[in-house]
């Protein structure tokens, strides 16, 4: 997701309250996403207590009626351990998202805040990391060549340490690596990650369609310096991806009906009606679901992308 989309969401929220039907629908769609995240958390933690849940973006969902003025939504906060945030301070160049920053300052005492800024000039990477650190957030500033989260940065790690990280709240840094294009084999990727000292490793559970085994995931959980760390699996819960194991050849937008809307800029993804039973069964709640596969693969938690689907099914 890019910052223009965030601006659209925040602007829409600020303009809400006019009482029209669109506002009512957006409120209902947001509530459905809040319930879906809670459902995923309840299911996963019922199988694996302490399972970590981190929605990416959509920090407004942590508030009642997505309105900071209405207070924190306790059930949602209790269901998550952190909130990931793209382009908070940098969107290529310095461009602080003040609206989201204000919300995250309210939430940072409750959950871990993880920032992945896009920094087009490598000279600004240190500034992006420091801005996050000053706020009490952990960060993964990515350079122009790492726009799609496919590289392990060659520079130093912020607050590198040899401590054991067994809960997200203790993490001081993280690696965001969900594209496999720069690794010739799964083993090469595993070894490259194993050679780092990041406290949290955020990756896709599949390498070119092949899922990580529990043994492979386990090999990611020790830093090169010997400390324990967390392995978190990426999952898209707001849009269907046509290269995933669950995709059927006959599917297309509108068929099934819950494959709802074109995802602008991402031709291989379609926004879904995430409250649909068939989609929810793909994601969680049964032994063949995506979340169950992630648990079986030994991951410590999940990183939930596209929770903002509640907004984009209506707008844009």
**Could you read off the pLDDT of 258-309 as tens digits, one per residue?**
999 999 999 999 999 999 999 999 999 999 999 999 999 999 999 999 999 9
Tell me: pLDDT of 23 over 90: no
Q: Which domain holds residue 93?
A: 3-312
CB 77 within 8 A of CB 102: no
Q: How confident is the model at residue 95 (pLDDT cuts 50, 70, 90)?
A: very high
Residue corresponding to tokens 């989260």: 149
Tell me: pLDDT of 1 over 60: no
CA–chain centroid gap for 185, Å, is: 24
Number of domains in the chain: 1
Distance CA 238, CA 154 (A): 32
| R_g over Cα of the chain | 19
What is the average per-residue pLDDT within 110-128? 97
CA-nearest of 243, 236, 242, 275 to 258 is 275
Distance CA 43, CA 55 (A): 15
Residue 161, domain CATH: 3.20.20
- Tell me the percentage of the chain whose pLDDT exceeds 70: 93
Q: What is the pLDDT of residues 120-146, one digit of tens each?
A: 999 999 999 999 999 999 999 999 999
Tell me: pLDDT of 164 over 80: yes
Distance CA 316, CA 311 (A): 9
Q: How confident is the model at residue 155 (pLDDT cuts 50, 70, 90)?
A: confident
Strand partners, 135: none
Q: Which residues contact 137 (CB under 8 A, 6 or more apart)?
A: 85, 104, 108, 113, 114, 115
- Here the tokens at position 119 are 């920094």
Q: What is the pLDDT of residues 200-251, one digit of tens each?
A: 999 999 999 999 999 999 999 999 999 999 999 999 999 999 999 999 999 9
């Amino acid at each position: 997701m890019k910052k223009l989309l965030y601006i659209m969401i925040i602007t829409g929220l600020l303009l809400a309250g006019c009482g029209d039907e669109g506002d009512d629908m957006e409120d209902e769609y947001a509530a459905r996403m809040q319930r879906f995240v809670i459902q995923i958390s309840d299911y996963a933690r019922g199988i694996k207590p302490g399972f970590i849940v981190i929605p990416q973006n959509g920090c407004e969902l942590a508030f009642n009626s997505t309105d900071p003025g209405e207070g924190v939504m306790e059930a949602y906060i209790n269901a998550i351990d952190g909130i990931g945030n793209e382009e908070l301070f940098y969107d290529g160049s310095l461009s602080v998202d003040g609206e989201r920053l204000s919300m995250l300052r309210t939430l940072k005492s409750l959950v871990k805040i993880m920032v992945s800024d896009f920094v087009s000039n490598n000279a600004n990477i240190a500034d992006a990391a420091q801005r996050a650190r000053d706020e009490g957030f952990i960060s993964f500033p990515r350079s122009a060549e790492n726009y799609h989260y496919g590289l392990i940065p060659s520079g130093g790690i912020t607050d590198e340490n040899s401590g054991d990280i067994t809960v997200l709240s203790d993490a001081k840094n993280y690696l965001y690596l969900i594209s496999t294009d720069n690794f010739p084999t799964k083993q090469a990727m595993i070894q490259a990650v194993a050679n780092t000292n990041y406290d949290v490793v955020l990756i896709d559970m599949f390498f070119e369609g092949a899922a990580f085994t529990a043994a492979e995931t386990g090999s990611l959980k020790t830093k090169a310096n010997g400390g324990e760390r967390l392995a978190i699996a990426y999952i898209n819960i707001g849009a269907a991806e046509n290269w995933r194991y669950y995709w059927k050849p006959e599917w297309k937008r509108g068929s099934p009906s819950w494959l709802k809307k074109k995802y602008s800029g991402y031709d291989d993804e379609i926004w879904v009606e995430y409250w649909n039973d068939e989609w929810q069964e793909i994601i969680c709640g049964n032994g063949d679901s995506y979340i169950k596969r992630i648990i079986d693969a030994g991951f410590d938690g999940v990183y939930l992308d596209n929770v903002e689907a509640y907004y984009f099914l209506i707008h844009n």
